[in-house]
């Protein structure tokens, strides 16, 4: 079926032009002015609206076991929430729970059979052995072009520096992008033990036992390891001003390093962890200061940070009380598990549906960034870095018809009911937003239409990604 989107403002990472877009089945066939409609076309009027590429969120976690429970969004509910916010492609992380990397990928592919939007995987490398090193090159055969290592979570996911270095060398040889979660695991472990011994169990101590300087030190250490291994590096969920400084330092020395941040680090701080419901804001790494947030925004504005993602990993605030989801009551144990001990609060936040509406209101409407910069940060840059471009992340002939008709004048009182995450709260509850998706297309199919869900479980397709090349 052919569809013609008429008279919208087409926004890419490099330009904004008024025009028409012709869709032919799954893909974009033509972009131009005054494309003539024929009898076999469905015509969609977009006058006064922006036409954006579907959002690409390269940092999400669905159906993830943690602390005796599981994250509340799976590969259907989380994907549905993403679509309502204008995101049409997500990348999830495959944990190492089975003996071989292939077994873990197969397990996650099974979980994702209910996918509602297009998706791909990163591979966590959280156990080290010669056998694991031998398996890493096989990831390319699975369409996976990125791996993730951790300098925190001692005795669980952390690798030692020499192990990270060896993993990076293999990644470099096989054109895989190494992603790094950077915190100082040794310092965290000590400070957590001291806090619990002193009876300091409130949510604020989650942040106070994960010092900002530990993130700054670890970010430089990760950069240094990547430089020695001669491999590209991508710093995930940057949250500290000093991390931006280290990223800028590395770029100034010609290193192929990249970074992402997330909306929660731009608009919340440790003060939110001091609230009576502070557990809602617990994630790892934690919120930082307002000064850190300002430096992150500056990093986005000047191009030091290339990507905004979400690190979506939703949990209920009170999983003892069911919520209605698609007309059925459902309750999943959540942050109440750590009511008396911050170390038992599942680490994670809802956010995959929030990213685009929040950033449009806060950054585009304020004039801080242009619509094209918005597309670069949320669509094009992540697609390029993670082997999805130009199929995803842009508006070009031949690209997938993943599009969002964006109404810049639509005002929305935001919150959990609008966001569609399968959880009982939203960080942005009550915020007034201006600018919101009107229609969302995934490969030419309208899956969200003026707030109505037209998508379905199983429609999402696994994305085989291209190798990473600098």
The pLDDT value recorded for residue 341 is: 97
What local confidence, expressed as pLDDT, does residue 441 receive?
98
Are the C-beta atoms of 145 and 387 separated by less than 8 Å? yes
pLDDT of residue 39: 92
Contacts of 326 (CB under 8 A, 6+ apart): none
Please, what are the domains in the chain?
A: 2-52+394-453 (2.30.40.10), 55-364 (3.20.20.140)
Please state the pTM of the whole predicted model: 0.97
- Residue 470, pLDDT score: 74
Tell me what pLDDT residue 99 has. Answer: 86
Buried b (16+ CB within 10 A) or exposed e, 232-246: bbbbbbbbbbbbbbb
Which residues neighbour 135 within 8 Å (Cβ) at sequence distance 6 or greater?
Answer: 100, 101, 102
The answer to whether 55 and 403 are in contact (CB under 8 A) is no
Residue 145: what are its φ and ψ, rounded to 5°? -120, 20
Residues in the chain: 470
* Average pLDDT per block of 10 residues along the chain, 470 residues long: 96 97 98 93 97 98 96 98 98 94 96 98 97 97 97 96 98 98 98 98 98 98 98 98 98 98 98 98 98 98 97 98 97 97 97 98 97 98 98 98 98 97 98 98 98 98 93
User: What is the per-residue pLDDT for 1?
Assistant: 87
pLDDT of the residue at 267 = 98
Closest-CA residue to 309 (of 244, 354, 346, 250): 354
Q: DSSP character for 377?
A: I
Write down the pLDDT at residue 102. 95
Of 203, 127, 134, 219, the residue nearest 170 (C-alpha): 134
């Amino acid at each position: 079926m052919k569809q013609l989107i008429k008279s919208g403002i087409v926004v890419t990472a490099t330009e904004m032009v008024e025009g028409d877009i012709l869709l032919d089945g799954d893909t974009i066939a033509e972009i131009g002015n005054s494309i003539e409609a024929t009898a076999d076309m469905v015509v969609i009027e977009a006058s006064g609206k922006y036409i954006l590429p579907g959002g690409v969120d390269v940092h999400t976690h669905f159906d993830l076991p943690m602390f005796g429970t599981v994250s509340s969004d799976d590969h259907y509910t989380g994907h549905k929430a993403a679509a309502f916010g204008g995101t049409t492609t997500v990348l999830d992380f495959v944990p190492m729970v089975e003996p071989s990397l292939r077994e873990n990928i197969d397990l996650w592919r099974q979980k994702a059979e209910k996918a509602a939007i297009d998706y791909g995987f990163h591979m966590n490398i959280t156990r080290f052995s010669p056998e694991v090193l031998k398996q890493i090159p096989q990831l390319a055969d699975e369409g996976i072009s990125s791996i993730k290592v951790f300098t925190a979570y001692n005795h669980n996911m952390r690798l030692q520096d020499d192990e990270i270095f060896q993993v990076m060398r293999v990644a470099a040889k096989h054109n895989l992008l190494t992603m790094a979660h950077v915190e100082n695991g040794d310092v965290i472990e000590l400070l957590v033990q001291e806090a619990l011994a002193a009876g300091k169990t409130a949510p604020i101590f989650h942040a106070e036992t994960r010092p900002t300087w530990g993130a700054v030190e670890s970010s430089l250490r990760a950069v240094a390891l990547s430089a020695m291994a001669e491999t590209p590096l991508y710093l995930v969920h940057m949250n500290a001003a000093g991390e931006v400084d280290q990223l800028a330092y590395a770029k100034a020395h010609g290193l192929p390093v990249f970074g992402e941040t997330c909306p929660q680090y731009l608009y919340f701080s440790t003060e939110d962890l001091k609230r009576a419901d502070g557990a809602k804001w617990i994630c790892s790494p934690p919120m930082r200061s307002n000064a850190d947030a300002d430096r992150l925004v500056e990093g986005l504005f000047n191009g030091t940070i290339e990507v905004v993602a979400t690190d979506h990993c939703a949990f209920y605030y009170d999983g003892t009380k069911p919520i209605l989801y698609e007309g059925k009551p459902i309750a999943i144990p959540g942050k109440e598990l750590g009511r008396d001990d911050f170390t038992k609060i599942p680490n994670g936040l809802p956010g995959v549906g929030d990213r685009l509406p929040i950033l449009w209101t806060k950054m585009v409407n304020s004039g801080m960034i242009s619509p094209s910069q918005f597309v670069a940060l949320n669509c094009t840059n992540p697609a390029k870095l993670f082997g999805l471009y130009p199929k995803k992340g842009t508006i070009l002939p031949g690209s997938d018809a993943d599009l969002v008709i964006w109404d810049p004048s639509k005002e929305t009182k935001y919150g959990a009911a609008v966001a569609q995450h399968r959880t009982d709260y939203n960080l942005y509850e009550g915020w007034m937003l201006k600018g919101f998706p009107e229609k969302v297309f995934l490969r030419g199919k309208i899956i969200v239409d003026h707030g109505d869900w037209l998508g379905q479980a199983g429609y999402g397709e696994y994305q085989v990604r291209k190798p990473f090349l600098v």
